[in-house]
A and B are shown apart, each in its own frame.
Chain A
């Protein structure tokens, strides 16, 4: 297991890399006790998305990534998630469909039980370069700005 202190230091160093890239994302102070972090980013219509990240045991485990509804504060609900026509954001399981997403593994939503235990996330086929916070957040951000973007996964009532 990775200690909370080490995972915190890892995520802090990766946040610095993100800030250097200049996308204008806002980062909360990562919390050592809860091992959580919030990242705010805007879509192309200036709507706010809040990415909820749990980084315990990182990088032995992938990040547990979810979205927090900026109005209700609920985490992991469809109104918090974006949606794109490429199915990157899975509507049924309400999770990101990529090997960097702990939520997609067995023991969580189980969307991809075929990927095995999340310990092996960095060697799952299709992981590509998405092994650290910057490319992971980029893969979300780019979908908020491209032609496949369809707004929120579920419109608010």
Chain B
């Protein structure tokens, strides 16, 4: 994974192991390159760090084109991400505060 400040797509640091994500959050948009083998959970952590979201929150990444929720344990390459930038939404799932009775 690249550093958390991210690299703009097309910059000189990009290589063929990179995939490009444009991550949309409630605090703004972040375009960054990640290694293909980066797990979704690591992208979530990087996004939390980049924007300063509360670390105790429960977050998810959703593919913008299909609304598919990306599984934290899977790698980016397993979803077919490439150097062509893909839009994903970073969402706060909230936590159920009270179990069913």
Residues of A whose CB lies within 8 Å of any CB of B are 21-23, 44, 86-88, 90-92, 97-100, 104, 111-112, 126, 128-130, 132, 134-135, 138-139, 141-143, 145-147
Contact A145 B26 (CB under 8 A): no
Contact B60 A135 (CB under 8 A): no
Chain A interface, >50% SS class: loop
Residues of B whose CB lies within 8 Å of any CB of A are 24, 26-27, 53-54, 57, 60, 62, 64, 67-69, 71, 89, 91-101
Partner of A145, one of B54, B64, B68, B92: B68
CA distance in complex: A1, B13 (Å) = 54
Contact B96 A86 (CB under 8 A): yes
Name the residue in B24, B57, B95, B97 with the highest tally of chain A Cβ atoms < 10 Å from its Cβ: B97
> What are 22 A-B interface contacts by the 8 Å CB criterion?
A23-B67, A44-B67, A87-B96, A87-B100, A90-B98, A91-B100, A92-B100, A97-B96, A97-B97, A97-B98, A98-B94, A100-B94, A126-B95, A128-B95, A129-B57, A132-B26, A134-B26, A135-B92, A138-B62, A138-B91, A138-B92, A147-B69
Q: Given A135-B26, A145-B68 in contact, is the A128-B94 Cβ separation under 8 Å?
A: yes
Contact A112 B98 (CB under 8 A): yes
Distance (whole angstroms) from the CB of B62 to the closest CB of chain A: 6
Q: Given A86-B96, A146-B69 in contact, is the A129-B60 Cβ separation under 8 Å?
A: no
